[in-house]
Amino acid sequence: MHEENIMTNRQKQALKTRKKIYDTAIRLLKEYGLEKLTINKICKEAGVSVGSFYYYFKSLDFVVVESYKIVDQQFQKISDENKLCGTACEKVLQLVRYQTAYAVNMGIELVTQMYKSQISIGNDYFGSWDRPLPKLYIETIKDGQKTGELRSDYTSESMAREIIIMVRGYIYDWCIHNGNYNLSESAEASAEKLLAFYTN
C-alpha cells in the first residue's frame, strides 16, 4: 500500500514536471520561434535537466504536437458538452470559428511551427480522421443530411474534408502573410460559399 502511494506521488510529480517543461517551451516558442530556441534554454527557464526534457519529449517538434493534442481536448469538450447550436450549417460555421480562433489565440509563431512539425515528423496524428475536430464536422454534416438541410449525393466525409482543407489553407495563408487580415472572417466567408453549394 505504501509503495502504491509512493508511485502515485511519483506519477503526480512526473505530470507536474512534464507540464512545466511544456508550458515553458510553448511560452518561449511564441517569443523566440523554433529556429532561435534551444532545449538548453527551455530547461534553464523551467529549472529542469536536459535529460528530463528528452525523457518526456523526443524533440521540440513533439512539444508542438502536444499543443495540437490540447486543442483536440477542447474540441472533444465542445462535443461532450453539446456546445454547437442551430442548423447544421450554423454549427459548421461555429466549428470554423472555433478552429480559426484557436489559431489566432495560439499566435502565428506557434501555428507556423505546427505546420512545420506536421511535415518534419510525419502526419499520422495530424492527418487522422479519428480526431475530435474531423469527427465533429462529419457528425454535424450527417445530421444536416438526415434532416434534408444538406445534400446527400455527397458523403459527409467528403464534405467535411473539403471544409477542413479550406480552413487549413486559410490558416497557412494567414501565417505566411503574418496575420495581416482577419482569419476568422475570411475562412467563414469561404465556408458559407461551400455550404451554399451543399445546401438543398
**Which pLDDT band holds residue 48 (cuts at 50, 70, 90)?**
very high
The per-residue pLDDT for range 138-186, each reduced to its tens digit, is 999 999 999 999 999 999 999 999 999 999 999 999 999 999 999 999 9
- Specify the residue for cell string 511519483: 10
Spatial contact of 38 and 46, defined as CB atoms under 8 Å apart:
no
Q: What's the CA gap between 82 and 75, in Å, rounded?
A: 10
Residue 136 class from Cβ within 10 Å (0-12 exposed, 13-18 middle, 19+ buried)? buried
CB 93 within 8 A of CB 195: yes
The 10s digit of each residue's pLDDT in 78-125 is 888 988 999 999 999 999 999 999 899 888 888 888 787 777 776 666
Three-state secondary structure call for residue 199: strand
Domain boundaries, given as residue ranges, for the chain: 1-57, 64-198
- The pLDDT of residue 44: 95
Per-residue pLDDT at 1 exceeds 80? no
Architecture of domain 1-57: Orthogonal Bundle (1.10)
28-42 pLDDT per residue, tens: 987 887 778 899 999
CATH code of the domain made up of 64-198: 1.10.357
- pLDDT for res 72: 84
Q: In this model, does residue 6 exceed pLDDT 80?
A: no
162, 138 contact by CB (below 8 A): no
